[in-house]
Structures are given as structure tokens and as C-alpha cells.
């Protein structure tokens, strides 16, 4: 009934590597993620609450004696050859921008990388907002460091992965995805302060509740241009509010009462963009407390408010995400639902009572399909560990 995406078969990956390269590889993995709440707050120095999921990218690798990286991705069905000393130009719009970007970001941090043979396999759906890109960057960075005998602290690894995305891929993302892929712990979400880059673990009790990811299976082209536009609008909001609140560095520094006092200074749509970020930050802090207290009812209310704020104030939702959200809201089995990720398609997350799980999955399928003609994907996920070597 549910989408069962097979896990990555690690034994098969090892034997395939041995067959191709005549050597035993080391295996490394990093997870995809969902964001429970705190959307578009990361680049505003705010708070986010991601949870790594039990879908991962696995990199099998062994060092080479020359300066080449030979990487094969099964999902891309392609092998590429890159030279550590002669990087290609950035932003070619190809999957190995990520590979080159990570290698060059590590080299820029003074790491002495060796050439390597790499096989990459993943069961994180790509482009669905579950951050297959960060899973790739972080597993790859970790693998390249380990097989080169180089050490790097985890925060620098997450930052290097983010640099790869900025400089080589050209997506000006915040640090949330790479941070989650690096620091996550099984059974927990991470409350990250995107200014101090410190995080605390928040237990996620899934004994009576399941988290279901529902993929709308649409992706509108707007995503990256609108993302950059939202970032610029937030910066404009800060500039304007600084005229009366000179001490602020980012939207994170503005309280709800300050915003109410000064919002008339902001033209539309900047006012609504700022309102989303400021209220979303407050919701994220409340949600972390609610989760900790196992108060899923409050969590559900906050999730619904988050979705509506993303829809109406930040305007990054779309008809399919709104439909998926509305269907979930109308079902008895659902405790909370919202879109997750940057928006304009991708997934919703749903906290669903375990005793109503089958029914939920069926209802979402039938109703979404009836109204859109699109078959949604549904995944039940649990909270997984961040990057690690598989031994």
C-alpha cells in the first residue's frame, strides 16, 4: 500500500565496487531530512527544527594514487572523472557540480585530499525537498576526508557542504540541510540556532504517532528564482526596520511587539514576508518545547499556522501543497500537517495516529489523485542519525 523504497543494499555496493576497482571500499552514509517547522528562517539567522530521516545516500570509496576523482552515481547512471588540481567551471547545472563543489570546498579549507574511486547510491528521492543534495554533499565530504586520512570538525564539514551548494551549484541555501545531515541523532529532531550554529536535541516520540511524508510529485520552476527573491525581500525588510531599530542584524532580532509597532513602515509584500519570518521563529521555539513535552496537539496547531503563514504571507506554497494540507486537516487521524522545504511543490509532513495510519494513507492517495490526476508518493519516516561510516 505504501511506497516501499528499497534501502541501499550495502553488500551489493561493496561487491560491485570490488568488481569494478579490484579493491575493498569503505562505506559512508548521510541522511535526507524533513523540517518539522521553521521554514525560510535559516537565512534570517533564526531557528529551525529539522529531523534526519531513514533514507540515505551511501558513498563507497577507496583512495587512488593519482589526482582523479572517478565518481559513479547509480541514480544518474553516469560515471564522471574530475581532477582535484584542475576543477571544472562552477554552475554547469550537472550532478557532479556537487562532487566538484565539495572537493574544492574541502581543499579551500586546507585539506589534502587524495584522488578516489567513488560509487554513490541513494534512496532519498531527488528534488522532492527531502534534501538529497545535502545527503550527497555530506556523505561525499565525509568519505573524501576519511579516505584521504584528513580530519575536519563536523561544523566545518557542514559549512563546506553549504559552500559547495553556494559556489558550485548556485543555490543560496541556508545551512539547515547540511547541518542536519551532519549532526542529527536517531530518535530526535534538532533545534538549530542558525546564528550561533548551536543545536539542541529534541526527542521525537513516535510510539503512538507516525510521521508520513506525502510528496505532491510536482515541482514548479519558480522555486529557485522565488527563493532568491524572498531572501532579497527579507534583507530589504531589515534595511527598512533598521532605520528605527538600528541595533538589529537580521529578522531574528525583531520581536512580535516591535514588529507590530513598526510594520506600517514596510511596503507590501515585504511586510508580510517579514511577518512570516518573525512569527515562524516564535512558532519554532514553541514547537520545540511542545515536542519535548510530548504535546503533539500544540505541535499540530503550530504546524497548521506555519503552513498558512507560508501560503498567505510568504507565498511559497502552491495549489497541490495546499490541497494536500487541506485533505490532511480534514482527516481525524491527523494531529498536524504542513508543507516542508522551500515550497512550490515537494512534500507535506503529517503527524498521524498510528491506529489510523492505513486509513490516512489511503484517503490522501484517493482524494489527492481524484482532484489532481497525480499519484502522490507517501513515506513513513523515522528519525535517523547524521553522517557516519558504515562498518
What residues act catalytically? Answer: 177
Q: CB 55 → ligand ADP: shortest distance, Å?
A: 11
For residue 76, the 8-state DSSP code is T
Angle at 81 between CA 16 and CA 64, to 5 degrees: 65
Binding ligand ADP (rule: CB under 6 A), the pick from 61, 129, 343, 386 is 129
What are the phi and psi torsion angles at 172 (to 5°)? -85, 60
The footprint of Mg ion on this chain (CB under 5 A) covers a number of residues equal to: 2
Q: CB 171 → Mg ion: shortest distance, Å?
A: 7
Nearest-CA neighbor of 242 among 264, 262, 270, 267?
Answer: 262
| Whole-number Cα distances in Å, 108 to 66, 111, 113, 167 | 19, 7, 11, 12
**Region of 61-69, 81-89, 132-140, 364-372 interacting with ligand ADP (CB under 6 A):** 132-140
Helix (H) / strand (E) containing 381: strand 377-381
Q: CB 179 → Mg ion: shortest distance, Å?
A: 13
**Region of 11-19, 127-135, 267-275, 352-360 interacting with ligand ADP (CB under 6 A):** 127-135
Nearer to Mg ion, 57 or 131 (CB): 131
Q: Does residue 148 bind Mg ion (CB under 5 A)?
A: no
The footprint of ligand ADP on this chain (CB under 6 A) covers a number of residues equal to: 17
Cell of 134: 545535502
Instruction: Choose from ligand ADP, Mg ion, none: what does 136 bind? Cβ within 5-8 Å by kind.
Output: ligand ADP
Q: CB 302 → ligand ADP: shortest distance, Å?
A: 23
Helix, strand, coil: what percent of the chain each, to 5? Answer: 45, 25, 30
Nearer to ligand ADP, 87 or 187 (CB): 87
| Whole-number Cα distances in Å, 244 to 62, 247, 279, 318 | 57, 9, 20, 35
Q: Which residue, chain included where needed, has cell 508543507?
A: 339
Residues near ligand ADP (CB under 6 A) are 57, 73, 75-76, 95, 98, 120, 122, 126-133, 136
Residues near Mg ion (CB under 5 A) are 131, 133
Amino acid at each position: 500500500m505504501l511506497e516501499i523504497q528499497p534501502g541501499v543494499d550495502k553488500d551489493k555496493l561493496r561487491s560491485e565496487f570490488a568488481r569494478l576497482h579490484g579493491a575493498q571500499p569503505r562505506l559512508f552514509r548521510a541522511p535526507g531530512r524533513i523540517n518539522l517547522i521553521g521554514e525560510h528562517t535559516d537565512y534570517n539567522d533564526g531557528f529551525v527544527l529539522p529531523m534526519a530521516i531513514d533514507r540515505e545516500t551511501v558513498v563507497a570509496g577507496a583512495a587512488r594514487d593519482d589526482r582523479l576523482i572517478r565518481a559513479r552515481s547509480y541514480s544518474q547512471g553516469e560515471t564522471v572523472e574530475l581532477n582535484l588540481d584542475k576543477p571544472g567551471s562552477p554552475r554547469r547545472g550537472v550532478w557532479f557540480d556537487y562532487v566538484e563543489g565539495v572537493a574544492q570546498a574541502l581543499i579551500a579549507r586546507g585539506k589534502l585530499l587524495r584522488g578516489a574511486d567513488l560509487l554513490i547510491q541513494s534512496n532519498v528521492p531527488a528534488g522532492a525537498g527531502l534534501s538529497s543534495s545535502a545527503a550527497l554533499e555530506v556523505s561525499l565530504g565525509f568519505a573524501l576526508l576519511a579516505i584521504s586520512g584528513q580530519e575536519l570538525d563536523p561544523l566545518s564539514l557542514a559549512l563546506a557542504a553549504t559552500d559547495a551548494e553556494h559556489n558550485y551549484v548556485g543555490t543560496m541555501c541556508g545551512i539547515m540541510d547540511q547541518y542536519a545531515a551532519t549532526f542529527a541523532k536517531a530518535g530526535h529532531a534538532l533545534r538549530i540556532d542558525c546564528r550561533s550554529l548551536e543545536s539542541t536535541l529534541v526527542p521525537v516520540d513516535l510510539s503512538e504517532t507516525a510521521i508520513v511524508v506525502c510528496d505532491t510529485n510536482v515541482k514548479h520552476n519558480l522555486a529557485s528564482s522565488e527563493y532568491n527573491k524572498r531572501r532579497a525581500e527579507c534583507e530589504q525588510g531589515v534595511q527598512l526596520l533598521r532605520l528605527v531599530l538600528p541595533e538589529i542584524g537580521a529578522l531574528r532580532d525583531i520581536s512580535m511587539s516591535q514588529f507590530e509597532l513598526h510594520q506600517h513602515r514596510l511596503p507590501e509584500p515585504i511586510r508580510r514576508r517579514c511577518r512570516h519570518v518573525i512569527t515562524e521563529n516564535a512558532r519554532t521555539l514553541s514547537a520545540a518545547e511542545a515536542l519535548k513535552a510530548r504535546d503533539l496537539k500544540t505541535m499540530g496547531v503550530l504546524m497548521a499556522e506555519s503552513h498558512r503563514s507560508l501560503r498567505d504571507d510568504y507565498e511559497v506554497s502552491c495549489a497541490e501543497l495546499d490541497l494536500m494540507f487541506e485533505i490532511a486537516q480534514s482527516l481525524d487521524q491527523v494531529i498536524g500537517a504542513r508543507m516542508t522545504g522551500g515550497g512550490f511543490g515537494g512534500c507535506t509532513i503529517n503527524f498521524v495516529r498510528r491506529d489510523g495510519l492505513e486509513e490516512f494513507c489511503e484517503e490522501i492517495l484517493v482524494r489527492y489523485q481524484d482532484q489532481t490526476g497525480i499519484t502522490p508518493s507517501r513515506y513513513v519516516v523515522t528519525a535517523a542519525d547524521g553522517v557516519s561510516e558504515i562498518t
